[in-house]
Chains A and B, each alone.
Chain A
Amino acid sequence: MITVVIKKEIQENLYSYKFMVITLLSVVLVLASFFVMHRDYAGRVEEYRLLKAEARGETAGTPPAPLSVFARGLDQTLSQQYRLLYGGDIIPGGNKESYNELFLMFPTPDPLYVVKVILAFCTILFSFNAVTGEKEAGTLRLSLSNGIRRADFLVGKWIGGFSCFILPFLVSLLLALFLLSFSPSIDLDFASWIRIGFFSLSSITYLAFFFSLGLLVSCLTQRASTALAVSLFLWVLLVFVAPNTGGILAAQLEPSPSLQQLDVKRTQIVFSGIVGTFEEANKERPEEDKMSLTVDMTKEKLAVDYANSLARQADMTRVLVGWSPPAAYTFLATDLAGTGLVEEKRFKQAVMQYSSLLLTLPRLQGGQGLRDPAPPFNYERTPLRDVLVSGGLVNLVVLLLESLLVFAGAALAFLRYDLR
């Protein structure tokens, strides 16, 4: 009986206007997103390579992550060349004047965004009237008067509806992957393909959650228009409100000084270093090496403390919003792509450790430049095993459990649903 319901659901959807519009939207958006992010990645890799060749002095950086094509996340920060100045300051190597701030005004249209926001929205449109629509059309009581169990009916509806929705997405995803595999700018090894597999699995699970949510709301309401309003408002709450409130709440619970306060405090250390050393030595040009090292180490400690307070804030954000499927999906996708909070923290720690190492190396007289060439900065992105162990699997399990929970809720609600 389930297969009959599945077949019926698939046939109904295939001939519907809704299916045509949503399929077109999702295919076009997924492919456009991959195209745009691939071009962006290729441009950034080329720029990184050329800027690295031209860099003078000590620098620390890592090339853009190939999987940032899927989830750009924090890759803009991660793939910059940072210049490590005499004095322990770490400044971006690129030029701020060349940056188009419109990129900051609008969300990045990467596949993560397309799935998290747009396809989740489309999934709701697919499922909100799964039950209420049939009730209004009068076919629900006809279907269930034929001796089919309610649970079977709902499962059939879920499988039929979701497969209609997910199939175009999978086809466009596979097509995008096929084209990416031929791209000369992206080198995907075996581990990358495993990550892509996890990304695809998490995307499907995430969309399954929203499909089940639409179905749940449909089983709790009597009219399709009511189901639509409630579903869409839940979408707004889950996709935008819950994750985006986390950051600012975390800042209230784990406050840290502003970036400007950090800069000013570091400047204060420099001033007291300059003044103290000149007055103590009572010379016009005292031994700058000794003055520098004390100042640099104090500034470094300040920077490390600040970075740690931001890391605590980021961890608090994960705790506050990690339960919500969009946030869990964002954390998982960005961690898999090597562009997430975990990677960012690890990278910054590596750069600061490198900066500390440079402070200990002997300098030329006058302090300008190292006496001998510094060892190069080496950084490898987090291995997949560590990504999964440090929270990736937890996020995937959260998505899976919440999808099952919501479906269970829908099944329970449907058992008591008034079909008339």
Chain B
Amino acid sequence: MIWSIAIKEFLDNILNLRFTVGLLLCVILVFACVTILTSDYRQRMASHHALKAMEEEFIGNYAAKTPLALYESAVKPPGALHPFITGLSPDGRNNSFSFYANPVPALFPTLDLVFIVSVLLSLLAVLFSYDSFSGERERGTLRLVAANQVSRAKILAGKWLGGIASLLVPFFVSIVLGALYVIIQPDIRWDDYTLLNLLLVLGVSVTFISVFYLLGLLVSSSFRHSHSSLITAVSLWVLFILVIPSLSPYLAAELYPIHAQVRRAQEINRLRKERDEKETRLIAECNEAFGRKYGRAFREYREMSGEERQQKAASDPEFGKMREAYLGERKKIQQETLSNMQEGIDKVNQELKDEAEKQKRTAKNLAAVSPYSDFLYAVTDLTETGLHNMDYFKRISSEYENIIDKYREIKGIPQRLYYDGSALDFSDHPRFTYREEPLRERLAVVLPWWGMLIVFNVVFFAGAFTAFLRYDVR
């Protein structure tokens, strides 16, 4: 019986004009997005290759002359699924802070599959389901169905299955067309791993679409008139998709404001001032000590220019020893005061980071009340274009910088702007190669959000069932 109801619901939906309009819109939008984003993917890939070539050139031309050239930047190529999902950060970085950042995306974010599923398909789901019960009741067919000894649970389950199936037609048709378009491009290679990622994204998307179909069923089974259920269903859609996610970061900022930003600036200035004062004092003490020990020689040293000191040190070994000892002592003082200041700065930075993390975590959890946020987190983390990947990229970039520092130490490269490294061989210079985070680790991050979507499904289904049990079908 469930299947008969499901088939009936499926046919009702696909023979409706709403379905035709939705199918057309879905196919056209997905195809247009994929086409434009494929072109964008090519541009980004070309830029990535150009960057790698430039950095090879640095190592080839400059590494033997300036230590700065050893530091090849960590760059992330665009993901294989970029033609479908751009996400928050295609290159793993937060570029919004840069003075030279492109301002247009801040006003008009790029369209991708996330938008199509989260706005268009969820709206379609609500439009298909808002009159499932109230509309049938108004037409008089609901009591006929219910009169046929069909349990209400089966009616609900059948409507849900049939409705979801009808929604998946435009979704899968457009995805398949989009995927075919990408696969036939000669310069884009998709392997099994990419297809697996895409399947997981589709799985999350189906779960998300189902949430809104069930929301529509819940509302429909709570109202007698389709007009009232329409207004309520779309209002809830507006709240979940457009309102709750946008308000969450601001609410989190009210609950956990970040004061450390200003405190940090004040503290850093205080630490710098303290360091300058301490260094001046210690150097003065050092000068006094050397003055007492070396007497006139040291006084003469203080009055000479840098070149004169070098020349005298070359001709007078005693003078040279004194100069070396003095410079060594000054360097020690500078390093000590710098290290103390840095410790203080690190502590303040950590405080700032902790406050920011707390606010971020709170905002994320508040936004998770909306299925849209859970969907967005899950899909962007799966495709390595979300917040989790930004942290991952920071981590592996930092590891790479440590590798370069060790490499520099091993090669014996000095801490100067310019040096003669013509005798050194840089063919073994470590290169940064972006490696994708293992799927297992990404799934560990994604599963809680996917789980939330499943919970929403269960809650809305239970709510619809409870409401429909008491529904007056006449």
Contact = CB atoms under 8 A, between A and B. Distances in A.
A321 B111 CA distance: 14
B36 A264 contact: no
Contact of A264 (B17, B51, B254): B51
Contacts of A232: 123, 127
Interface string A120-134: 011001000000000
Nearest to A78: B103
Contacts of A278: 65, 417-418
A109 B250 contact: yes
Contacts of B265: 50-51, 54-55
Contacts of A18: 227, 231
A274 B17 contact: no
A141 interface: no
B88 A105 contact: yes
A1 interface: no
A265 B247 CA distance: 40
Contacts of B355: 98
B123 A344 contact: no
Nearest to B24: A233
A232 B247 CA distance: 24
A241 B266 CA distance: 45
Contacts of B387: 101-102, 105
A205 interface: no
B21 interface: yes
B248 interface: yes
Given A50-B262, A107-B246, A310-B103, A271 B62 contact: yes
B75 to A, nearest CB: 6
B390 interface: yes
B326 interface: no
Given A18-B227, A104-B94, A261-B51, A330 B107 contact: yes
A303 B100 contact: yes
A30 B148 CA distance: 49
Contacts of A56: 269, 272
A109 B97 contact: no
Interface stretch (A145-153, A242-250, A394-402, A406-414): A242-250
A274 B418 contact: yes
Contacts of B266: 50, 54
Candidate in B32, B65, B68, B376 with the most chain A CB atoms within 10 angstroms: B65
A341 B107 contact: yes
Interface stretch (B42-50, B162-170, B279-287, B396-404): B42-50
B249 A106 contact: yes
B31 to A, nearest CB: 13
20 contacts: A17-B228, A18-B231, A22-B235, A39-B254, A54-B262, A77-B103, A97-B352, A99-B356, A100-B360, A101-B390, A118-B242, A125-B234, A228-B127, A229-B22, A236-B120, A247-B110, A258-B51, A264-B55, A271-B58, A351-B99
Contacts of B40: 248, 251-252
A267 B227 CA distance: 63
B99 A82 contact: yes
A184 interface: no
B176 interface: no
From DSSP, what is the main secondary structure of chain A's interface residues? helix
B363 A102 contact: yes
Given A248-B37, A275-B66, 14 more contacts: A21-B235, A95-B261, A100-B252, A100-B253, A102-B387, A104-B94, A105-B367, A106-B245, A229-B17, A233-B21, A236-B120, A247-B105, A248-B111, A274-B417
Interface residues of A, number: 106
B444 to A, nearest CB: 20
A391 to B, nearest CB: 14
Q: Which 3 A-B pairs have the closest CB atoms?
A: A54-B265, A109-B246, A278-B418
A288 B110 CA distance: 45
B243 interface: yes
Contact of A259 (B54, B95, B231, B272): B95
B99 A92 contact: yes
Contacts of A22: 231, 235
B99 A43 contact: no
B108 interface: yes
A154 interface: no
Interface string A253-267: 001111111111101
B147 interface: no
Contact of B58 (A226, A263, A268): A268
A106 B234 contact: no
Nearest to B416: A284
A58 to B, nearest CB: 14
Nearest to A128: B230
